[in-house]
Amino acid sequence: MLEINELKPTSKSVLVLGSVSAVGRAIAHEFAREGYSLLLGDIEIEENERIAKDIRIRYHVFCDTLFFDASDFDSHPVFLEKVIEKFNGIPEGLVICFGYMPVQEEAQKDFNLIKRTIDINFTGTVSILERVISKFEERNYGFAIVISSVAGDRGRKSNYIYGSTKGALTRYLEGLQHRLSSTKVHLLLVKPGFMDTAMTYGLNLPQRLLASPEEAGRILYTAWKRKKQVVYVKWFWRYIMLIIQHLPRFVFHRTQL
Ligand SMILES: NC(=O)c1ccc[n+]([C@@H]2O[C@H](COP(=O)([O-])OP(=O)(O)OC[C@H]3O[C@@H](n4cnc5c(N)ncnc54)[C@H](OP(=O)(O)O)[C@@H]3O)[C@@H](O)[C@H]2O)c1
């Protein structure tokens, strides 16, 4: 069995945060297949180590793990130091896949759930991304792939607490893309519709609109390769959301969306 110390990190390297998520795992496999060294950061230690071991065996690339809690903002500077230590420098890229979606009705009655959603989806992402992007900018090279959601495109009663954190994240990422437009740092904003993952488990969703995590991983990787700025998963969500965004309020308020 391949141990970590048998494989050395190369400069072709990616930090994947939320690597235990179904999509995080899928995108990690995409990069490993192309020979990238990987560092997997997640709140779940054991499953993360299992994923890393599997990647080392399959692709024979450096793949190590680190504990990462998106909502523990104070730990992020030290976390980044550990990343630099493990990779012997700043990685080439960062992929952010962590996220949290509360049950809307429960969150409406419990501010702690609302705060947790904001902390993980928005503040946690901004906290780590801003630090990493500054390093990429200093070097004038690097990339980030960040998962937002179509839920951020228009506030809907069924999901506006989660949706508002993704809406804020989308606006933040658009601003960051503007800031980076004159540099060689690439930022891909990902807007998935429904994906077949733990987050949507048990929800009654139309099968035809669902993307599997593997499909999502492939779409993200291809969009990144093509240097896209925004990608919808799957492509038709761009048009679905265009319609939803442009529904007049008097029509929209009669829907159960
Ligand atoms: N599934 C969809 O339909 C859908 C649609 C649009 C956007 N998205 C977004 O896609 C991304 C991936 O989600 P997914 O669908 O693959 O769902 P998922 O499997 O539930 O992934 C979410 C991951 O985030 C982790 N996480 C939660 N709190 C964390 C924290 N404080 N620090 C670090 N990690 C934490 C979770 O760990 P635990 O399991 O331990 O809590 C889980 O591994 C998320 O950003 C999500 O918002 C999903």
Domain assignment of residue 154, yes or no: yes
Q: What is the pLDDT of residue 78?
A: 98
Ligand 1, atom 39: closest residue by C-alpha: 21
The whole-number average pLDDT for the span 159-184 is 98
Domain assignment of residue 125, yes or no: yes
User: How much is the pTM?
Assistant: 0.97
**Which amino acid does the sequence have at 56?**
R
The pLDDT tens digits of the residues spanning 36-56 come to 999 999 999 999 999 999 999
**Portion of the chain with pLDDT greater than 90, in percent:** 95
Domain assignment of residue 52, yes or no: yes
The pLDDT tens digits of the residues spanning 94-151 come to 999 999 999 999 999 999 999 999 999 999 999 999 999 999 999 999 999 999 999 9
- For residue 36, give every residue at least 6 positions away whose Cβ sits within 8 Å of its Cβ, in sequence order, or none: 10, 12, 13, 14, 61, 92
The sign of the CA dihedral 186, 187, 192, 197 is positive
Domain assignment of residue 129, yes or no: yes
Q: What is the pLDDT of residue 6?
A: 77
User: Residue 137 sits in a domain of what CATH number?
Assistant: 3.40.50.720
The rounded mean pLDDT for the chain is: 96
Q: Is the pLDDT of residue 5 over 70?
A: no
**Portion of the chain with pLDDT greater than 70, in percent:** 98
Domain assignment of residue 257, yes or no: no
CA 192 to ligand 1: nearest atom: 6
Domain assignment of residue 248, yes or no: yes
CB 102 within 8 A of CB 24: no
Query: Sorting pLDDT into bands at 50, 70 and 90, what band is 204?
Result: confident
**Which amino acid does the sequence have at 77?**
P
Domain assignment of residue 81, yes or no: yes
Give me the domain span that covers residue 172: 4-252
| C-alpha 256 to ligand 1 mean position (Å) | 25
| C-alpha 21 to ligand 1 mean position (Å) | 5
Number of domains in the chain: 1
Q: Is the pLDDT of residue 184 over 90?
A: yes
Q: 189: Cβ below 6 Å to ligand 1?
A: no
Domain assignment of residue 197, yes or no: yes
Question: What are residue 95's DSSP bridge partners?
Answer: 16, 145
Buried b (16+ CB within 10 A) or exposed e, 193-204: bbbbbebeeeee
